[in-house]
Amino acid sequence: MAKHPLYLSSLGVVSALGTGKAETKATLAGKRNADMIKRSGFLSGRDTTLGTVTAELKKLPGHLSEYDTRNNRLLWAATCQIAADIHELIAKYGNERIGVLIGTSTAGIEEGTTHYQQRVESGKFPESFRYEHQEIGSPSEFLQTAFDLRGPAYSISTACSSSAKAFASGKRLLKANMCDAVLVGGVDSLCRLTVGGFDALQSLSDGVCNPMSKNRNGINIGEGAALFILRQDEGEIELLGVGESSDAYHPNAPHPDGLGAARAMQSALECSGVSPADIDYINLHGTATPLNDIMEAKAVHAVLGPDVPASSTKPLTGHTLGAAGAIEAAILWLSLYYSNIGTPLPVHLWDGEIDAELSRINLITSNQSLAPRKRLAMMSNSFAFGGSNVSIILGKGWTTP
């Protein structure tokens, strides 16, 4: 076990699961439906199912209006849930000792697309056009400005592993004593460029995605944000380990044997000091694309064995791309946080049609809870284009007295 424990002391979250911890937990427990909605306007001539945040997103405060995009509104919706904790953090450590690390892949690209379209049609940009909205660094700069933070602040954009990698970078900032705490998370908003791009790759599902099924035919894109406070001094939920690898097998296809995925999982185990037998649940990357599911099942089977409870939550959130690692870490956080009454495990939603080509893994097909126990450990996988692979392990009861 690591000599210097790290804690995720606070969580703000918004996605197709709902807004806030309670609503997200209720959706995961099947008490309300996730907002996986057929949407028009993203693809020419047809609708597509998208994980959508349906709650009204408030405009940003006046002094932050230059950052006003849907992406930053999503991040603000998550941030406001833990704003009091952030202010307490500033009072304790000072502005200079708090960093900001945000994973994203869309930033304000949707607003940019709309404004460029208006430029073509009318000959000029609207007054609201800001080139800076499209910059990947916008979310982290916005959050830093919102709280007048002066520690390191930057965004990470490695496609679908972006916000998972933010945990690794935050860990390094704390280890190097560059910060006393870091705001770590991810955000992505729906945009036509992204949805159209995945459609061009023939990767979009006809309906709600169907991970690990022999009938799977692609992903749903989603949107959302999750933000944590990562610190060394206190917290109930522990960041036990992060593992990274880069196999660079192909620009947009994973290694068929899951070698890079397995290396990331093994590295996370080594970093955390826990054994494969200690992992109580794994949240799969589980995109429902043929290649990802085959390789991930191989990697999970090889590293953790066939019996660890597993599920993909992308049929409930959509694939939130740069925000996926943070939102799926939030799902682990919630399961661990409520473990005193039995730890609920997210059900794997699919049609139950087993693909004989997939290595055997233990998909959670009905409501299950782990009995209360002193120590728990859970893993989440995030895999991206170009072979950027990250596995995160969160826990409870490992480093606390």
Catalytic residues: 160, 285, 319
> What CA–CA distance (Å, rounded) separates 195 from 157?
17
> What CA–CA distance (Å, rounded) separates 305 from 71?
38
The region that residue 352 occupies, defined by phi over 0 for left and psi between -120 and 50 for alpha, beta otherwise, is left
Query: What are the tokens at 156?
Result: 């990470």
> What CA–CA distance (Å, rounded) separates 21 from 11?
8
Helices (H), 29-82: 70-80
Q: Give 43: exposed, middle or buried? Use CB within 10 Å, 0-12, 13-18, 19+.
A: middle
In angstroms and rounded to an integer, the radius of gyration of the C-alpha atoms of the chain is 20
Three-class SS state of 49: strand
> What CA–CA distance (Å, rounded) separates 67 from 60?
8
Query: What are the tokens at 248?
Result: 């660079």
> What CA–CA distance (Å, rounded) separates 141 from 113?
21
Count, residues in the chain:
401
> What CA–CA distance (Å, rounded) separates 171 from 341?
30
Helices (H), 179-274: 192-200, 259-272
> What CA–CA distance (Å, rounded) separates 217 from 43?
17
Q: SS3 string of 159-179?
A: HHHHHHHHHHHHHHHHHCCCC
Instruction: Give me the phi and psi of 312, to 5 degrees please.
Output: -105, 135
